[in-house]
Amino acid sequence: MVRFRRLTRKEWQSLRNGLLFISPWIVGFLAFRVYPFFASLYYSFTFYPILDRPKWVGLSNYTDLFGDSRFLTSLYNTTYYALGAVPLAAIVGILLAMLLNTDERGLSFFRTIYFLPSITPVVASAIVWLWMFDPINGVVNYLLDQVGIPGPGWMGSPQWSKPALIIMAMWSVGGAVVIYLAALQDVPRELLEAAELDGANLAQKIRSVTLPMISPVIFFNVITGLIGAFQYFTEVHVMTGGTGSPADSTLMMSIYLYQSAFQFFKIGYASAQAWVLFLIVILFTAVLFRISGRLVYYGGK
């Protein structure tokens, strides 16, 4: 049984001073995190045109959502992007980390180069990629033309706009590369040497030793990448002007939420979208945690 003792006067004074010092953070957290969280939950059950008082409408916003073709389009686009960008980023990140995980001279330079895009301002990167994807004067179509491949319309084509966004997402894979590289350097060399003595080739060592040993890091990056993908906003907003064009092919859930709240001033409807997005992210995360027991290896097990 745990017994609690009374704090001495000096301990109370120390506690009070500590709370006083962190009070600005506590106030900010309550005002800008906790209050908006619960306020949006309340507003999601109201009709709130921002210039009038919110009126309780129950589940009306939620039922309207699933009859809204633009919301369903945004749900499809966001899921398409997440399921395309996150696995591809994991594969590209692991491959680059493996290439950099050697003792060759000069590799520290390339490690820095691969990480630099991660600290480049997102808006600047989006503008550069928009120019690169230009169907007439862009670098991407120019390079494709050099090998005899006709370049698509990219951001001007409903069929190619989402693949273009997925390709652009690889630009910022450098942050994941650094994490994967640190994990690879922690893989015990004895295990790799033992596998080699057993006759394992490179592919077998990667599949049976390397990937299981770094699987917790892969799992972490996939989870954080999935959360970020469902909140994807800045790049697509810059590249399309927040319209979701062409033909709503880049209308992400975050973009439609933004339109509902700040263009159409339907705060209650936007709040309902935010909570549906939150629940979808929770669902995907729960599924990944559910299957992680079979796919993720922890050394202590």
Mean pLDDT value of segment 225-243: 94
The more confident residue out of 292 and 283 is 283
Query: Residue 32, Cβ neighbours under 10 Å: how many?
Result: 10
| Domains (range + CATH), the chain | 68-295 (1.10.3720.10)
- Residue 141 pLDDT: 96
User: Quick one: tokens of 160?
Assistant: 């190619």
Backbone Cα Rg of the chain: 24
Whole-number Å distance between alpha carbons of 212 and 132: 38
293 three-class SS: helix
Q: What is the pLDDT of residues 250-265, one digit of tens each?
A: 999 999 999 999 999 9
Mean pLDDT value of segment 39-68: 94
pLDDT at 169 over 70: yes
pLDDT at 2 over 60: no
Q: What is the pLDDT of residues 81-114, one digit of tens each?
A: 999 999 999 999 999 999 988 877 777 787 788 8
User: Quick one: tokens of 36?
Assistant: 């908006």
Burial 205-242 (b: 16+ CB within 10 A, else e): bbeebbebbbbebbbebbbebbebbbbbbebbbbbbeb
- Quote the mean pLDDT of the chain: 92
- Residue 50 pLDDT: 83
56 three-class SS: strand
User: Measuring CA to CA, which residue among 13, 71, 66, 61 is closest to residue 40?
Assistant: 61
